[in-house]
Amino acid sequence: MHRYARIVLAAILAACCASSLLGPAVAQAAEASPARTAVLETMQRATRFMLDKVAYKGGYVWSYLPDMSRRWGEMEAYPTMIWIQPPGTGTMGHLYLDAYHATGDERYYKAAEQVADALIRAQLPSGGWGYMADFAGEVSIRRWYDTIGKNGWRLEEFLHYYGNSTFDDEGTSEASQFLFRMYLEKKDAKYKAPLDRAIKLVLDSQYANGGWPQRYPAPAQPFAYKGKPDYTGYITLNDSVADENIKFLIMVYQTLGDKRAYDAIIRGMNIFLVLQQPKPQAGWAMQYTPDALKPLGARSYEPDALTTHTTAQVIDKLMDFYMLTGDAKFLACIPEALDWLDSVKLPPEQQRPTRTHPTFIELGTNRPMFVHRRGSNVVNGEYYADYNPDKTIVHYGAFRKLDVAKLRERYAQLKATPPAEASKDSPLLAKGIELPRYFSLADLNVSDLTAGHMGVGDVTPERVAKLIESLNAEGYWPTPLKATSNPYKGDGSATSAAGDYSTTRVGDDTDTSPYVTTNPPMGISTGAYIKNMGELIRYLGQLK
């Protein structure tokens, strides 16, 4: 899931329903078209709360109970932890820097400095980051992995402590991009060494063929689970591993002119072409072996298969690559990939509402595969795949909504566009192209690095008035925390608990995976803060 999608998911339930506890002057300003001063005051009050009450040594997780008795990233976190995986610490840094650009208020830059200091402290010797960092030290984070982490059924990336950098879920990428922005902002030398380490990581970890592993360096103790070998060295397209590394290197090349980055970018683009499977299965998988380039599943609920959503995403990326390079080879293989997606579209009677394609397609047969599970926790539970579309797992979609017609339309437009015209604004080919000023207001793709990106669509005065009114007396937007988890109570039993957990998001009461509660408490959401502040920033842009 992309970073901005996570922000929206984390904040979508921000009800903004609290009664106004602001003074009458601000409330009156919010009744009509909110004034700039009211917006700026609201932004500052919300930010002071995040800095004074929420941040831990400059870093953040995703959500908090108001009394701070529990907090969560993708899983429950210790009070001494910060979350790197978006929308966590790096996303907050981007937001602060964006607010600085929108207002010119140095307080936001100082807030961004605090985030940068936290990320530098959390940076691993390899140059990247894990999903989270624990400022209480190695003993504490190992304890977390051996308790909360290893009992998260379905969250297999947290079952084992590797201690190395991960490119999964954009954490390392976002932290690197934020530190890069901080360095460029005022050329402060304190950011140069950690930035150089992050650049070196992306360059060193790339295979000679152009692909990237999910983690680097290779673990001293590989982790096998439920018969699946350690997958972290596989060439990974899933969760934006390759394209986020390419995006970061494009930023490096377009601003610093680093020739090493250019070579790595081209090799990183080319591997997408190499990984496409031959007809009649001209699609892509989420992972591949680094040597034989064989498609393989990673987690135990991912069969060895091609994936339709990955294929659609790669088609889009190849069109981006054409716009970046003007090289028609990136368009050449797209028609057969589009035809393959059409060939595996489910018949109408098998489609789900708004879902047109199965996620997994069996290698060699083109038959859709569906994943199920049995058991009740990470110890006794197991996943299996067959051809039955009923009672599939709910935490990983068995069906996808793909707009193949839209992809065909974009392909036709680019095919009709001469290479020089398509690539005229490419940061790889044109000189003097600056980075966007705003990174937290939209999910930037590699094709977006030349745009301002204030977000899509206007923010209405009514929406802004509601944001001003709903900031509570303490300084945060109360948000229903629908995602919760069972507190750790001991390792799961080898004997399955009573009940059917095949279509639930969480297993028995030893499963520490997050799930959606029907009675959510109101709490503090980092995602809600980022989303709401982003809307206020966009509104300020409209006032100019």
Instruction: Specify the pLDDT at position 167.
Output: 98
Instruction: Specify the pLDDT at position 25.
Output: 36
Count of all residues that appear for the chain in the document: 544
521 has a pLDDT exceeding 90: yes
As a whole number of angstroms, the distance between CA 85 and CA 257 comes to 28
Q: Are the C-beta atoms of 341 and 312 separated by less than 8 Å?
A: yes
23 has a pLDDT exceeding 50: no
3-state secondary structure of 398: coil
186 has a pLDDT exceeding 80: yes
449 has a pLDDT exceeding 80: no
* Tens of pLDDT, residues 366-381: 999 999 999 999 999 9
> Would you kindly state where each structural domain of the chain is located, as residue ranges?
3-212+235-442+457-543
For the record, the structure tokens of 543 come out as 């006032």
188 has a pLDDT exceeding 90: yes
For the record, the structure tokens of 46 come out as 């919300």
198 has a pLDDT exceeding 60: yes
* Tens of pLDDT, residues 34-61: 999 999 999 999 999 999 999 999 999 9
As a whole number of angstroms, the distance between CA 255 and CA 185 comes to 12
Candidates 3.40.50.300, 3.50.50.60, 1.20.140.10, 1.50.10.20; CATH matching 3-212+235-442+457-543:
1.50.10.20
The mean of the pLDDT values for the chain is 92
**Mean pLDDT confidence for 498-507:** 98
Residue 447 pLDDT class (50, 70, 90 cuts) = low
As a whole number of angstroms, the distance between CA 444 and CA 447 comes to 8
Question: Looking up tokens 């909504």, which residue turns up?
Answer: 401
Instruction: Specify the pLDDT at position 455.
Output: 56
Q: Are the C-beta atoms of 3 and 92 separated by less than 8 Å?
A: no
Instruction: Specify the pLDDT at position 246.
Output: 98
Amino acid found at 250: I
Instruction: Specify the pLDDT at position 17.
Output: 29
**Mean pLDDT confidence for 79-87:** 97
Residue 457 pLDDT class (50, 70, 90 cuts) = confident
**Mean pLDDT confidence for 439-466:** 73
* Assessment of whether the complete model's pTM goes beyond 0.75: yes
Residues 6+ apart with CB under 8 A from 422: 322, 323, 326, 414
Instruction: Specify the pLDDT at position 14.
Output: 30
Residue 1 pLDDT class (50, 70, 90 cuts) = low
Rg (CA), the chain: 23
Residue 432 pLDDT class (50, 70, 90 cuts) = confident
For the record, the structure tokens of 497 come out as 């608990």
As a whole number of angstroms, the distance between CA 273 and CA 262 comes to 18
User: Does residue 217 have a cis bond before it (omega within 30 degrees)?
Assistant: yes
* Tens of pLDDT, residues 258-313: 999 999 999 999 999 999 999 999 999 999 999 999 999 999 999 999 999 999 99
